[in-house]
Chains A and B, each alone.
Chain A
Amino acid sequence: ETGVTQTPRHLVMGMTNKKSLKCEQHLGHNAMYWYKQSAKKPLELMFVYSLEERVENNSVPSRFSPECPNSSHLFLHLHTLQPEDSALYLCASSQAVTSLREYFGAGTRLSVL
């Protein structure tokens, strides 16, 4: 148990659906991250939030919309996804964006049909 909880663990959605991934951290951290892990590709950083402000957006398509209502919660809203968006989506947190160590959740396995 790392203190970072992601729900749901598995999600199947059609290309016209709208869904949201949720991440919650119980570590009192100020920074939160979304990563995408596709098969046979390195982990890709998608978004970084520091104190609820987005500080990094790595050219992610607008069909992915993050939301950070407070420092403990991070959401990833999904709409009109493509089959190539099927991947493992990992959330992480750290004490600050400059901290050396990130704590990862178990991920949400997303399949887009």
Chain B
Amino acid sequence: AQKITQTQPGMFVQEKEAVTLDCTYDTSDPSYGLFWYKQPSSGEMIFLIYQGSYDQQNATEGRYSLNFQKARKSANLVISASQLGDSAMYFCAMRGSGAGSYQLTFGKGTKLSVIP
């Protein structure tokens, strides 16, 4: 079984500052993928960034980077230079390599509020 834990129900960040959203995971699969999604108030889930468990380098996509620490089973999302439009729910998710590996397991999410 896979499990994603996001311990921060809500976070505040000042505009133009950086913020880290925490995510820890648990899986017995030898390989897996980790994802971050953004969900604005409109409801749509927007893919942000992906990290494979065997990737040597941390993933980066524009202002988003994933701080992947395999030994600690953590995959924190770092947003640099926060913008007002970053205010949304953020979900960490994973997909394993075992049977039924097409199932994305999501955490409960973190609500990020960017303050002007």
Specify whether A and B are partners: yes
- Chain A residues with a Cβ under 8 A of chain B: 2, 9, 31, 40-43, 45, 48, 50, 55-56, 58, 88, 90, 92, 97-98, 100-107, 109
Question: Do A48 and B95 touch (CB < 8 A)?
Answer: no
State the CA gap A40–B9 with chains docked (Å).
9
Secondary structure type dominating chain A contacts: loop
CB neighbours of B42 from chain A (8 A): 106
Which residue in A9, A42, A56, A92 is a CB contact (below 8 Å) of B100? A56
Question: Do A105 and B44 touch (CB < 8 A)?
Answer: yes
Question: Do A107 and B43 touch (CB < 8 A)?
Answer: yes
Q: List 14 A-B contacts (CB under 8 A).
A: A2-B46, A31-B102, A42-B107, A42-B109, A45-B103, A45-B104, A98-B102, A100-B33, A100-B95, A102-B47, A102-B104, A104-B46, A106-B44, A109-B43
Given contacts A88-B43, A106-B42, contact A42 B101 (CB under 8 A): no
State the CA gap A97–B108 with chains docked (Å).
23
Which residue in B45, B101, B105 is a CB contact (below 8 Å) of A98? B101
Chain B residues 40 to 96 lying within 8 A of chain A, measured CB to CB, are 42-47, 50, 91, 93, 95
Instruction: Give the number of residue pairs across the A-B interface with Cβ within 8 Å.
Output: 54
Given contacts A90-B45, A92-B45, A106-B42, contact A101 B50 (CB under 8 A): yes
For chain B, which range describes its interface: under 10, 10 to 19, 20 to 34, or 35 or more residues? 20 to 34
CB neighbours of B44 from chain A (8 A): 2, 104-107
Known: A41-B108, A106-B43. 20 other contacts (CB 8 A): A2-B46, A9-B43, A31-B102, A42-B4, A42-B105, A42-B106, A42-B108, A43-B91, A43-B106, A45-B103, A45-B104, A55-B102, A56-B103, A90-B45, A97-B102, A100-B95, A104-B45, A105-B44, A106-B44, A107-B43
Given contacts A98-B101, A104-B44, A107-B44, contact A40 B108 (CB under 8 A): yes
Q: Name A89's closest neighbour in chain B (CB-CB).
A: B43
Most buried by B among A40, A45, A92, A109: A45
